[in-house]
Structure 1
């Protein structure tokens, strides 16, 4: 039996919108839906809000969207405003600095806000826990999903045992190993990088050791590139882990200390307050929508973290899908057209912006050909020196360009033919 928009169940307590995944994307989707009074059930495998340190950058376009659910004030109270970032070379030092202030006449947020993603998750979980429109089901696993004529039926295993839940619509925001995507049989094509990435956090102030260092730094090097950034809690350093090393070897305290000492000598020794090793992929789901089910965030697309757009584009997915579901629930929209528009818009953005830019950023950092490396340096210097080119570059990396081009939740009739 397949879903039919003509017989779709209305969004109500008996058929809520079910969000699978309680990370920043799922929490954002639930908050956006609840803000319009829609009943929501959020299903999350972890027994409590997840303490994942991985992503920490919120760009201008994302902050504008999050402002609509009234969370940006709390984020700014805990976060760190970073108006510039640097492109550096490990041998040659500073190559170019880019100033988000060039966008001051286009956005209320002409900067990056550095805030570890678990804080947004915590903030939204606390709010949703008090919201009468939302049921939070932590410690609950999705064991099956079947599309029905009027929506979807989910099989769940949790503290209350095995249960079933009927949904009008489903948003799968349950990460790269998405149970929702797998249940739908949607392909997740792409590739996995041969190296893994290590992310290490320390309380040592790297700017005291390297005074010309920015708060956000992309450092090119043919042997071992770096990504160095400041968050409110710590300085974080990302570097590649060769495939010949196990996770245990890559996490050896002596090796971590050697790696950090190569960034900047520190006689007292670096305290390590968090460390993770993880695989990195460039993959996009073959479809972002199947019947009444949408895929969002890492369930729909995963990418290199170089550029800080994975979390941001996932939040854009969540807001785009939520706006469409709000219109559908209000009876003012063609459900099939809205969900198809979500699929086309968000997949186009994932391919043309997220995948393309993060791959380019990563390749630039790890380039081994000296001539190509020098050309990259010249290109970056030339862009930074030209205000108009720098403005266009910053507009793209902050995701303002993709939002201006496609909108977020823009009605199908308003979308141009450029959306595939």
Structure 2
């Protein structure tokens, strides 16, 4: 049912968050714990149990510590300092160890924990925070922006209704309804092949004793991403364009791929499999009026590097800190929200998109000369302590956080962006 919008005074209106995945829940929790009223609407009737993302990098853990969830994550997750680049024919090419970052972060490792566990933890915590209202089974269908508010239409099992909010924040994934209603594009491309994740309870270290808990494995025919989580080992590999879903996810075909990694008499028990499209895309704008985009709604990328979820959480905390200043410190909304949009889009393009695209190309390179060059460069970097530390700082997103900060005041953001632009001009001139 629909009708006129009724709402309290604009200063008391909640922030409306669309999407109850890890990024949306992080943002809602960060707002609610500050005492900022928030209503989160999620189309699914319950929190989703999506196994896709599973890596939390050091600066992300530092940010999540601020909302009180890291100790529980550490208790349930798997700390992995060491990871490898390998070649399917040549074996180990290079190994990197986040332990070299011990002087820069209290979390010098990747934490492997499937993303649905973070969502579960945050949903449980939100139930105790008076400022947070979660509405599952509630789908965004319409948006009107006013000078002093947003008005949204949502559809539930009981029909349509309207909500009024101070701002709208879209965290509703790659096919974001919020982004579409805000009218901004999603620039980039879709890979012709899809990626398949298959999970098994078999401990792959027993079959491949020299592997790390996280492995990027190059191959011109079928590259592989092999990683360990508390529940399982997961293999990610490409499915060629034109191959249908039924064939790609057939248990016999999944078994064939796993046997190609390491033979196992009797076969692998398969826990889960997912087939999905992979994109490299960035929203044309992260802010349109009173509407903002974070996480996959703003930027989506190849999973090779484990930075998409992390960058989305950085978006969420950056924006939450700005809303804190707007609500309680009298900060200028225009300056704060423009700083968010400029900064987070810069990071998405320069770090998330650039690095994940390069990682994917490196693993799938078919030209033997270029493959040999990639391998030689990785060996040289891993063999030099300073280069290896710089590599780990960038791969972990510590470099981007130290360079641009998270949620810094607009004047400082402007200074850092100007310095970055000057540095880029200097590099070009050189």
* Bin of the TM-score, shorter chain as denominator length: over 0.9
In 1, distance between residues paired with 2:61 and 2:30? Answer: 14
In 2, distance between residues paired with 1:305 and 1:28? Answer: 20
Q: Which structure 2 segments of 5+ residues have no match?
A: 1-8, 422-430
Instruction: Compute the displacement of 1:161 (Å).
Output: 2.2
Partner of 1:287: 285
Q: Is the 8 A contact 2:199 2:234 kept in 1?
A: yes
SS in 2 for 1:97: strand
Q: Number of aligned pairs?
A: 410
Q: Is the 8 A contact 1:348 1:419 kept in 2?
A: no
Partner of 2:391: 393
Q: Is the 8 A contact 2:16 2:40 kept in 1?
A: yes
Per-residue Cα deviation, 1:348-386 (whole angstroms, up to 9, x for no partner) = 000000000000000000000001001111100111111
Instruction: Compute the displacement of 1:331 (Å).
Output: 4.0
SS in 2 for 1:364: helix
Instruction: Compute the displacement of 1:10 (Å).
Output: 4.8
In 2, distance between residues paired with 1:10 and 1:225? Answer: 53
Partner of 2:232: 234
In 1, distance between residues paired with 2:293 and 2:327? Answer: 19
Q: 2:346 aligns with which of 348, 368, 386?
A: 348
In 2, distance between residues paired with 1:110 and 1:341? Answer: 29
Instruction: Compute the displacement of 1:248 (Å).
Output: 1.0
- Superposition pairs of residues 129-144 of structure 1, within 5 angstroms: 129-144=127-142
Q: Does 1:243 align with 2:244?
A: no
Q: 2:89 aligns with which of 63, 82, 91?
A: 91
My pick for the range that moved more, 160-169 or 116-125, is 160-169
Q: 1:202 aligns with which of 200, 203, 208?
A: 200
Partner of 2:269: 271
SS in 2 for 1:375: helix
SS in 2 for 1:73: helix
Change (3 A) 1:93 1:132: same
Q: Is the 8 A contact 1:257 1:270 kept in 2?
A: yes
In 2, distance between residues paired with 1:154 and 1:380? Answer: 50
Instruction: Compute the displacement of 1:419 (Å).
Output: 6.3
Partner of 2:375: 377
Partner of 2:18: 20
SS in 2 for 1:191: strand
Partner of 2:402: 404
Partner of 2:256: 258
Instruction: Compute the displacement of 1:18 (Å).
Output: 0.8
SS in 1 for 2:273: strand
Q: Is the 8 A contact 2:33 2:129 kept in 1?
A: no
In 2, distance between residues paired with 1:244 and 1:256? Answer: 17
- Superposition pairs of residues 69-218 of structure 1, within 5 angstroms: 69-218=67-216
Q: Could you say what the CA RMSD is over the residues aligned between the two structures, in angstroms?
A: 1.0
In 2, distance between residues paired with 1:301 and 1:393? Answer: 23
In 2, distance between residues paired with 1:197 and 1:11? Answer: 45
TM-score (norm 2): 0.94
Q: Is the 8 A contact 2:10 2:149 kept in 1?
A: no
Partner of 1:5: none
Instruction: Compute the displacement of 1:134 (Å).
Output: 0.8
In 1, distance between residues paired with 2:144 and 2:76? Answer: 41
Change (3 A) 1:198 1:287: same
Partner of 1:308: 306
Instruction: Compute the displacement of 1:64 (Å).
Output: 0.4
Q: Is the 8 A contact 1:345 1:419 kept in 2?
A: no
Instruction: Compute the displacement of 1:35 (Å).
Output: 1.1
Instruction: Compute the displacement of 1:131 (Å).
Output: 1.5
Q: Which structure 1 segments of 5+ residues have no match?
A: 1-8
Q: Is the 8 A contact 2:60 2:314 kept in 1?
A: yes
SS in 1 for 2:67: coil
Per-residue Cα deviation, 1:135-177 (whole angstroms, up to 9, x for no partner) = 1100000010111111210101113421111110111000011
TM-score (norm 1): 0.96
